Every structure is written in C-alpha cells, then in structure tokens.
A and B are shown apart, each in its own frame.
Chain A
Amino acid sequence: MSILQNPFGIHAQAFQLREQRSTVLASNIANVDTPNYKARDLDFKGIMEAAQGGSMRTNHSQHFSVASSSADRESVKYRLPHGAALDGNTVEVGTENSLFTENSMRYQATSSFLNSKIKGVMTALRGE
C-alpha cells in the first residue's frame, strides 16, 4: 500500500529541488553584467543521492561507513566557465539559459508525475 502511505515518493523532493535550482539559475542570469560575480549551481545529483540514502551503502556490520567530506555535503557549487571574462564574471548566458530551460522542463515533467500520482490516489480512494 505504498501509494497511499507515500504517494509522491522521490518526486516531492525533486519538485522542491527543481524550484530551488530555478532560483539559483535566475540569480546567475540576473548577475550576468555584475563584475566579479561567480556563477553557482545546485548539485542536483548529489542532493538526490543523499536523499536516497547516499551512493555508498553498507550491508555488513563490519563495513566502514563512508563519511562524506564537507565539500561533498555542500550542494551549492561554483560553475567552471568555458572561458574567462575580463571583469571576473563567470556567467555564460548560453549555458545558464539552456540550463534554466532544461530545469523548467524537468520541473513541468515532475509536476505532471505528481499530477498523475494525485489522480491515482483519488481513483483508489473513490473506488469507482
């Protein structure tokens, strides 16, 4: 009965994360002309892996648990630019724009996943 206990699964977290990432990317695009601004991004994969219990799991009592360093825990990271700008700004409009569009498309995909989950739950509840 997992559909009624936890109907949204990982999608709920992904939804929030997509929303957060869109703000980070909007910040980058807003600061495209600010000198010395460094573009940042959310480490989507890292956060999702952490949310699912980390990429390394132990299945024996004598296994060591792998403690992640603080650099791994930090989810807002700096973007590596393809080329350097004279004013120290690392925002590349093309990259940011395409990532923003991709992020908002994935957001809408997640939103439609959630929608169908809600529909599923409603069908189950009504029992029609």
Chain B
Amino acid sequence: MTMLTAMKISSSAMTAQMVRMNTTASNLANMDVVGGSEEQAYKAKKPIFRTVMEKFSETDYQAGVRVTGVSQTERPNIRRYEPQNPLADDEGFVYQSNVNSIEEMVEMTNASRSYQTNVEVMNATKKMMMATLQLGKG
C-alpha cells in the first residue's frame, strides 16, 4: 500500500513543522531575556530540515523530512547599559537576546501554513484510501 507511505511522509512533515513551531515559540518567549555576557545571552534557534529518502528508484520515489538538529543564529547580541540589573557585568552592561521578532513571526506563519498543507494532503490521501477500500461495493 503506497498510500500508507504517503501518510507517513505527511506525518513526518507535520512533526518537523511542529518542531519549527516550538522553536519559534521558544524564541519569542525568550525575546526579552538578558544575560550577563555574550555567551549567557539567549540566541535565536532554528531547526535544520533534511530529506529522508524512503525509496528512490527509476520508477518510484518516496521522501519524508526530518529535523536533524537545531542551529543557533550567530547575530551579535546587543549590549545595553543597565547597572541596576543583578545580571549586569563589571561595567554595568547586560546582553539582550538576538531574536528578531519579525523574522520569528514570518517563521511562525510559514510553519503553520506548511502544517495545514500537509494536513490537507493527509485528508486527501485518506479519502483516496477509503475509495479504494469501497471498490466494488456500491
């Protein structure tokens, strides 16, 4: 049943998009977190997507997707003068997270739309499977 593989592929994409959504949520939640040094400060995270070849021949092709890791955005953290903050370094500076809220909103919309598309694909596949199962009955 190739159809079941199609459902597996869609579900792999949904899982991947969910990880992306969680990452975005974490980034947005930690947007205002400050740190005492460049290393301690929060850095925006981004999942890395990879294609998983289930089957690749001259006549058949099945490829899912998997998150193989999470990368950190290497944008410099902004230094802010805040001597009253207990986290501030010796000079009185704290380091803001390097999350770009606009970027994250775009990621969020993209992830949610891709997720929806895969849900639709899964629904259509289910309908096709049901049609096959009902073959010759009515």
Task: Write the residues of chain A forming the contact surface with B, with a CB cutoff of 8 angstroms.
Answer: 19-20, 22-27, 29-35, 37, 40, 42, 47, 73-76, 93, 97, 100-101, 104, 107-108, 111, 114-115, 118-119
CA distance A18 to B131 in the complex (A): 13
- Shortest CB distance B21–A (Å): 12
- Shortest CB distance B126–A (Å): 10
- Shortest CB distance A41–B (Å): 9
Q: Given A22-B128, A29-B118: A111 and B135 within 8 A (CB)?
A: yes
Task: Write the residues of chain B forming the contact surface with A, with a CB cutoff of 8 angstroms.
Answer: 2-3, 5-6, 9-10, 12-13, 16-17, 20, 49-51, 56-65, 110-111, 114, 117-118, 120-121, 124-125, 127-128, 131-132, 135-136, 138
Could you tell me if B117 and A97 are in contact, using CB atoms closer than 8 angstroms?
Answer: yes
CA distance A79 to B124 in the complex (A): 22
Contacts of B10 in A (CB 8 A): 26, 29-30
Q: Given A27-B62, A33-B20, A33-B110: A111 and B124 within 8 A (CB)?
A: no
Sample of 11 further A-B pairs with CB below 8 A, known A27-B63, A101-B124, A104-B128: A24-B61, A26-B9, A26-B10, A29-B13, A30-B64, A30-B121, A31-B13, A40-B61, A76-B56, A108-B131, A111-B135
Contacts of A29 in B (CB 8 A): 10, 13, 117-118, 121
- Smallest CB-CB separation from A24: which chain B residue? B61
Could you tell me if A35 and B49 are in contact, using CB atoms closer than 8 angstroms?
Answer: yes
Could you tell me if B125 and A22 are in contact, using CB atoms closer than 8 angstroms?
Answer: yes
CA distance A75 to B60 in the complex (A): 8
CA distance A26 to B7 in the complex (A): 8
- Shortest CB distance B110–A (Å): 7
Chain B interface SS verdict (over half): helix
Q: Given A30-B10, A30-B64: A114 and B135 within 8 A (CB)?
A: yes
- Shortest CB distance A112–B (Å): 8
Could you tell me if B62 and A32 are in contact, using CB atoms closer than 8 angstroms?
Answer: no
Which of B6, B114, B132 has a CB less than 8 Å from the CB of A26? B6
- Shortest CB distance B137–A (Å): 8
Contacts of A19 in B (CB 8 A): 2-3, 128
CA distance A104 to B60 in the complex (A): 18
Q: List 9 A-B contacts (CB under 8 A).
A: A29-B118, A30-B10, A30-B63, A30-B64, A30-B65, A33-B16, A76-B59, A101-B124, A115-B135
Contacts of A101 in B (CB 8 A): 124
- Shortest CB distance B118–A (Å): 6
Contacts of B50 in A (CB 8 A): 34
